[in-house]
Structures are given as C-alpha cells and as structure tokens.
C-alpha cells in the first residue's frame, strides 16, 4: 500500500462509529451513491495527505484508484456531494469533540505517564477573509464571526534595554493544552481572536474536570507563559488539583520598586522574580539566599543562610536574625511564591518543557495546513481544528499500537 498505510493507521485508530451511525441515520433511505463512511474517510485522507482545499482532494480521488478503494468509493464524489457532506459535518462538532476525548482516554491507558506534564498556550488562527466592516450578512467571502486579536511580546536586550513586539491578526485563536513529553493535545477550544488567554485557561480546566478528571489527578506540573500569569489560576491549580504551576511572571510592581520586605522579617527581601536575599546586619551587604526546598505540609519555601549553606564569611552571622534558615509561606504572594520556587534550577528546567506546545503549534500550521487555508466562520474553523487534532491523536495511537513509538508525532513519515 505504500504511503496509503498512513491513512489506514488513522482510519483504524479513529473511534468514529457513533458519528458514522448518526450520519447514516440522518441519510435514511436516501441515495447512497457516495456512502457516509467513504465520504468520512475521504475527509480524513484530505488531512493526512495535506490537501489545502476540497477541490485538491477531489482531483486526487479522481486520479488515484487505490485511494478511492481504501476510502470505500466506487467512483470519485462530485464537488456538490462533498460540499453537502461537509455541511453535515458542521452540525457534528460535539460528536467530533467526543472522538477527540475518547482518544485522550485511550492514550492515558496506553501511556502511564501521559498527562504528567501539561502545557497551555494560545495560537493565532488568522483568516484571509476581509473584515466585515459594513456588517453585511454572511456571503461566504467575508468572515462575519472573526475579529481582531493581538499578542504583545516583551524582553530585554543584552545591553539592558527593553524591546516590545506587537503581533495582530484578524481571525480566531486556538487555546490548546498539550502533554509536554509526548507533544500531543489533551484539550482545546477555538474562540474569536479578541478573547484573552487567561480566562480560557479556566474554561479548559473546567472541560478537563468534567471529561478527564483522572488526567488532572495524574498531572504534576502545568506550564504556561506570562500571558497566563495571575494568582487566580495559580491558586486553582495548586489548591484544587495539587498541580504545581510553572507560569512565567510579569513585573506588576510600581516603577522604582526593586524588592519587598518579607513579612515579619527585618533583613530578608525578595524581588518579583522570586529571588530571596538577606542583608548582613553589620555591613548591610546583600546576598542571595540558598533555596532549601518546598515543605508541602507547611506550604512554605525554605531558604537557607548563604553563609551557613556555602561556607562564606559573614561579619554579622552571629547576630543575624535569620539564623540558619527562613520559611516563607506561599501566602506571602501567591503569584511570586509557588510550590516550585522560581529561583530554583528545577523551575527553569520544567519551564523549558513549554517549548513542546510551540512545536505542536508549528505542526498545526505547517503540517495540518492552517498556515494557508480557506476556512470562513467560527463553526467551520472549530470543526476543522477538531478534525486535525483527531487525526493527530489517531496517528499517534496507530503508531503506538504498531510499535512505532518513535514516529508517533509524525503525520508524513511513511510506515
């Protein structure tokens, strides 16, 4: 079968029987020149073989007899028949999401550590349609559901100066949670571009709580960039699910504020990045304290005296109120002090795992065709994203069951 085996893997791994039966019930005793299952397999083929449009898929079906046979066609469908089937699929968004959720559960059963490390991000989905400035009715050319969104990136140059980049687009936003180790999606939502990332994080957690409570119990770390920074999300992850948040932080302090004094301490301060310092009571020299770990039963972070920990000289060691160590409760500042200390090497290593979701977003654009598409309307976009993510999971399941774990993330590599 050659390259067609990739499609066969997806078809065999996709738990789509309920969807097929519903579509067949709706068709009833009408004409069956192009069977429901064959049409569905054709849609999957369009994603697997990266066809940018329905017409491109139809041309392939007309010339490729092996593909028609694998899908279940006696003859290639007409453009009208394919368009009609696609319109029916738009009403099946819930069923497609159910297929996605079922495959997430299958992956949890096959991979004992699936879901231990999760990451979340928002991804722009621009549409090439014109903005509906005149508020005209939907005619297929305009996108009456889309709106404008923007994302601001900030950083510091090597010379210490700050830079800022604003990316704006017209279209939609994909909110996605993935497993950071296996680089596979576990939850998603498609919204207008203007809807922010942090509120949608709570919506995705609600979704996972309802559909995949075992996944939340399995999760140990939840990673996100600073767009999700906020005490509400951090508190929810730790207080409700015992998930350690690894979320980058924004500087929300007033201009000129460099450090804050730890409550109840005379000479211990911290900055907005979570670094903790002590001042020598005799020389007023500031030194960074050594992180000593998280004490879960007390919900405190322990920081050791640098002179005690590193063996360095300190003129005021004997009179220092710090003693050997201090404990800082998470309640000191829930944004800054988290169960994995921001100043620790472990936090940095865990945060680096967030790059997994960037690679998934790159595949969605480059491999699954969202960099250049012809999609118009929120429902079409949501269904098309759902189908792409279902194919991504089905391919992974097929590769795992076929003892090809090393290729589980590849859509294009031949079997």
**Cα separation, 214 vs 118, whole angstroms:** 13
Quick check: 13 and 398 in contact, CB under 8 A?
A: yes
The pLDDT of 198-214, averaged and rounded, is 95
Question: What pLDDT score does 212 carry?
Answer: 96
H or E, element range at 86? helix 79-89
Question: What pLDDT score does 297 carry?
Answer: 95
Q: How confident is the model at residue 165 (pLDDT cuts 50, 70, 90)?
A: confident
**Cα separation, 91 vs 82, whole angstroms:** 15
Quick check: 132 and 144 in contact, CB under 8 A?
A: yes
The pLDDT of 278-299, averaged and rounded, is 94
Q: What is the dihedral of CA 402, 404, 407, 408, to 10 degrees?
A: 50
In the CATH hierarchy, which top-level class contains the domain 113-250+352-386? alpha beta
Task: Parse the chain into domains and list their residue ranges.
Answer: 113-250+352-386, 260-331
| pLDDT surpasses 80 at 234 | yes
Enter the pTM of the model. Answer: 0.92
* pLDDT single digits (tens) 355-390: 999 999 999 999 999 988 888 889 999 999 999 999
Q: How confident is the model at residue 137 (pLDDT cuts 50, 70, 90)?
A: low
The pLDDT of 306-311, averaged and rounded, is 90
Average pLDDT along the chain: 92
| pLDDT surpasses 80 at 186 | yes
Q: Which of 295-304, 308-317, 343-352 has the lowest mean pLDDT?
A: 308-317
Question: What pLDDT score does 248 carry?
Answer: 95
Question: What pLDDT score does 163 carry?
Answer: 85
**Cα separation, 412 vs 233, whole angstroms:** 37
Q: How confident is the model at residue 1 (pLDDT cuts 50, 70, 90)?
A: low
Which position has the higher pLDDT, 1 or 316?
Answer: 316
Greatest Cα-to-Cα distance within the chain, rounded to the nearest angstrom: 92
| pLDDT surpasses 90 at 130 | no
Q: Tell whether the torsion through CA atoms of 87, 93, 98 and 104 is positive or negative.
A: positive
């Amino acid at each position: 079968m050659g390259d067609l085996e990739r499609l066969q893997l997806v078809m065999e791994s996709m738990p789509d029987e309920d969807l097929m039966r519903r579509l067949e019930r709706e068709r009833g005793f009408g004409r069956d020149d192009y069977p429901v299952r064959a049409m569905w397999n054709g849609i999957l083929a369009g994603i697997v073989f990266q066809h940018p449009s329905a017409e491109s898929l139809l041309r392939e079906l007309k010339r490729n007899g092996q593909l028609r046979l694998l899908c279940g066609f006696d003859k290639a469908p007409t453009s009208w028949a394919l368009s009609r089937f696609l319109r029916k699929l738009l009403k099946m968004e819930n069923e497609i999401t159910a297929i996605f959720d079922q495959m997430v559960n299958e992956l949890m059963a096959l991979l004992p550590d699936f879901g231990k490390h999760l990451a979340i991000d928002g991804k722009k989905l621009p549409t090439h349609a014109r903005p509906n400035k005149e508020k005209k009715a939907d005619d297929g050319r305009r996108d009456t559901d889309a709106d404008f969104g923007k994302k601001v990136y900030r950083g510091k140059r090597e010379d210490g100066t700050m830079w800022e980049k604003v990316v704006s687009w017209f279209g939609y936003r994909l909110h996605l949670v993935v497993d950071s180790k296996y680089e596979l999606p576990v939850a998603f939502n498609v919204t207008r571009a203007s809807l922010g990332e942090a509120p949608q994080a709570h919506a995705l957690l609600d979704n996972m709580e309802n559909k995949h409570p075992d996944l939340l119990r399995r999760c140990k770390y939840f990673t996100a960039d600073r767009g999700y920074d906020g005490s509400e999300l951090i508190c929810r992850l730790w207080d409700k699910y015992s998930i350690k948040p690894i979320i980058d932080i924004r500087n929300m302090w007033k201009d000129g504020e460099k450090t804050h004094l730890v409550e109840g301490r005379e000479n211990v301060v911290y900055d907005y990045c979570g670094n903790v310092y002590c001042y020598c009571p005799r020389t007023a020299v500031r030194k960074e304290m050594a992180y000593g770990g998280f004490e879960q039963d007390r919900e405190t972070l322990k920081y050791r005296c640098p002179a005690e920990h590193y063996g360095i000289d300190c003129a005021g060691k004997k009179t220092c109120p710090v003693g050997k160590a201090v404990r800082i409760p998470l309640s000191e500042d829930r944004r800054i002090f988290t169960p994995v200390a921001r100043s620790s090497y472990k936090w940095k290593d865990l945060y680096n795992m967030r790059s997994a979701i960037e690679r998934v977003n790159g595949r969605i654009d480059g491999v699954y065709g969202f960099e250049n598409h012809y999609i118009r309307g929120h429902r079409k976009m949501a269904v098309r994203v759902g189908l792409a993510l279902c194919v991504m999971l089905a391919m992974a399941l097929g590769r795992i069951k076929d003892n090809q774990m090393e290729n589980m993330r590849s859509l294009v590599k031949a079997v």
